[in-house]
Amino acid sequence: MADSKPSEPLPSGTAPPTSQQEQPNGEFGDKNDNDIDALEAGRGDSDTDPKTKCCCPACGTRKNKKNKKKKNADDKPDNVDANGNLIPEATKCYKFRQQELYAITPILSPPFVITMYFVMSCVCIPLGAVMIADNNKLKSSPTIRYDNIPACDVGNNFTSTKTCQVSFALDQPIPAPSYFYYQLSNYYQNARTYALSRSSAQLMGEWPLTSAQIDTCEPILDNKSNGEPVPCGLTAWSYFNDTFVLCKDQNCADGVNVTQNGIAWPSDVEYKFKPGPIEEGSPWTEQDNDLITSEPFMVWMRLSSFNQFNKLFMIIQEDLPAGTYYVNIQSNYPVSSFDGQKAIVLYQVTWYGGKNEFLAIAYTVTGCVCFVLACVFLIRHLTKPRKAAYEDPSMVLDRINEIANEDAKS
């Protein structure tokens, strides 16, 4: 049995070590005198001082690039200061936690602000003028509502189908390409439950799916009578399934050359909507894959932010001369249960989208306001300039003396 040496008595006034001081690296412990001195006096170089040492990526990376010291076997650990004392966890990332990282604070001088207002006016006014000119050139058909036509009204029946025909007249020819849209009103695709009810993994053709990937489709987990969840979710379940055929005559013997290729976003076609595997145990069928990879379905799954919206149905690839046109409609989608409306419209688009008078006016008004403000600030700056404190330090000293005198009097 080894001899045990008696422990040496502690100096008077010294507290015995606690278990917190003996904790391993990285845990909180009581600060000893060396830690307190290092924190208060800032003793030690920049690599070992707790107040200057930083473990966050921003200043830590910058310090490493600045110092570029070679490590060796005798280097001390990062959680030990110059005296070999353990650095408390609370002092790590000091600069990051105390918001002392490097930052840029721009000084908005009068010349800079005036210049920016002039630049904004020089950008917004021409844009607004170009949009106003383009709006006058863009041609469109009248918006035709058809859910209130008895031959097209399916009521509140999800299984009912009706076929009807509507016509519209073009006063001016519309050159190709033009775009055919269907319009829904009082329809809130931006509702939280509706917007989240889908499985992105399923739409990308992944299989098998975890329960977490399927649960995102609640409250509609399956859309078919056999319980197979392809495609699942409220958005897919409520897919707009009315169809339209644009014709030049009432009997529809002479149709208009149209296509549905290119109506969806290229990123949706390439990445977000893929066919699933058709194999034993898989719920996918050819019909499911045809639906998921169809571009009208992709357009529908792109949710609208407003309760009235247009969605692209097809692209017209030939010039439309002035005259009367007919649209054969197969009406399947009920809207009476939520007081909705269905309509169709076709129009041209340009580099900023369809005809948009509000956007053109907004750019023009913004540019004019910026120009007026720039002129006002410029006149004010030329007639009564104001010196900045950083340009004349004596102003700061005078103000400090004024405050000191006021405090002395009070």
Q: Which of 196, 272, 184, 182 is nearest to 232 (CA)?
A: 196
| pLDDT for residue 17 is more than 90 | no
Give me the mean pLDDT over the 211-232 stretch: 75
Is the N-terminal amide bond of 231 cis, ω within 30° of 0? yes
For position 99, what pLDDT does the model report? 76
The two tokens of residue 94 are: 């000091």
Percent of the chain with pLDDT over 90: 49
Query: Is the pTM here over 0.85, yes or no?
Result: no
3-state secondary structure of 297: helix
Q: Which of 172, 186, 175, 320 is nearest to 246 (CA)?
A: 320
How confident is the model over 320-359, as pLDDT tens digits?
999 999 999 999 999 999 999 999 999 999 888 888 889 9
For position 363, what pLDDT does the model report? 96
For position 395, what pLDDT does the model report? 75
Percent of the chain with pLDDT over 70: 74
| pLDDT for residue 187 is more than 80 | yes
For position 282, what pLDDT does the model report? 81
Task: State how far the Cα of 108 lies from the Cα of 151, in Å rounded to an integer.
Answer: 65
262 vs 55, residue with greater confidence: 262
For position 147, what pLDDT does the model report? 93
One-letter amino acid identity for 77? P
| pLDDT for residue 10 is more than 90 | no
How confident is the model over 224-266, as pLDDT tens digits?
555 566 888 999 999 999 999 999 999 989 999 999 999 999 9
| pLDDT for residue 60 is more than 60 | no
| pLDDT for residue 20 is more than 60 | no
For position 92, what pLDDT does the model report? 60
Whose structure tokens read 């208060």? 40
| pLDDT for residue 68 is more than 90 | no
